[in-house]
A = this chain, B = another copy of it.
Amino acid sequence: MPTYDYPRAALAVDCVIFGFDGKVLHVLLTQRTTPPFVGAWALPGTYLHENENLESAALRALESKAGLKNAFLEQLYTFGAPTRDPRERIVSVAYYALISTDRWQRTGKPAPGAAWFPVATRPDLAFDHESILTVALERLRAKVRYAPIGFELLPAKFTLGQLQSLYEAILGAPLDKRNFRKKILATGILERLDERTQGASHRPAQFYRFDSKAYKKFCQAGFNFEV
């Protein structure tokens, strides 16, 4: 058993995992089965292993707690208030992840003890996880305005209507349809596919996909997203 000259805080990662069902933004939570906060909902997290990168630990939490692989993942902020965990001092490096709708649907029931909640009607969270979620939401809202991370939440092919609904769900405000289309198409980062939606009782919608090559060019050319 390892011994140190001074006390050391434990290190953990916690993940704010966002998903989109086409209408509202969801977050994945796990229900606690051990003290403290038994029965309460919390962000999925895990302790950092020896010789493991922070991001690897977050990916591991994503997979083991939520059954999800290969999500967009980005470090958010590190929470280290001495009493944030009543047991002992645990410093948590928070990450946020975006799960595309198709994977979201395939994992309809994610992992035992975990569940998706609409962000707007989530339950109270254990520890300081409310603060973490708040920071994650701010970051998501800020970032979606200048970087195309929204696409991470949609399936590979999607319609402009879905894309707009996603932006509206994240930003919490309605957007003008014509202006939205104009701007998003003007960037050139969308590729129009030869395929349309089927079976809906209204006019079929064109499918598009995100063109990451064009996006790179677009970034080099000076960037400008501002939806």
Rounded to whole angstroms, the CA-CA distance of A10 and B47 in the bound complex is 14
Contact with B along A3-34 (1 / 0, CB 8 A): 11111111100000000000000000000000
Interface: A112 (CB within 8 A): no
Interface: A93 (CB within 8 A): yes
Residues of chain B within 8 A (CB-CB) of A93 are 78, 80, 91
Residues of chain B within 8 A (CB-CB) of A209 are none
CB distance from A35 to the nearest CB of B (A): 17
Contact with B along A45-88 (1 / 0, CB 8 A): 00110111110000000000000000000010110111000000
Rounded to whole angstroms, the CA-CA distance of A31 and B89 in the bound complex is 31
- Assuming the contacts A1-B4, A4-B1, asked whether A9 and B53 have C-beta atoms less than 8 A apart, the reply is no
Out of B8, B48, B80, name the residue touching A2 (CB < 8 Å). Answer: B8
Rounded to whole angstroms, the CA-CA distance of A207 and B3 in the bound complex is 58
State the main secondary structure of chain A at its contact with B: loop
Q: Are A5 and B1 in contact (CB under 8 A)?
A: yes
Q: How many copies does the complex hold?
A: 2
Q: Which residues of A contact B (CB under 8 A)?
A: 1-11, 47-48, 50-54, 75, 77-78, 80-82, 89, 91, 93
Q: Are A54 and B75 in contact (CB under 8 A)?
A: no
Q: Are B4 and A8 in contact (CB under 8 A)?
A: yes
Out of B5, B9, B53, B77, name the residue touching A48 (CB < 8 Å). Answer: B9
Residues of chain B within 8 A (CB-CB) of A53 are 80-82
Residues of chain B within 8 A (CB-CB) of A77 are 75
Q: Are A50 and B6 in contact (CB under 8 A)?
A: yes
Q: Are A7 and B78 in contact (CB under 8 A)?
A: no
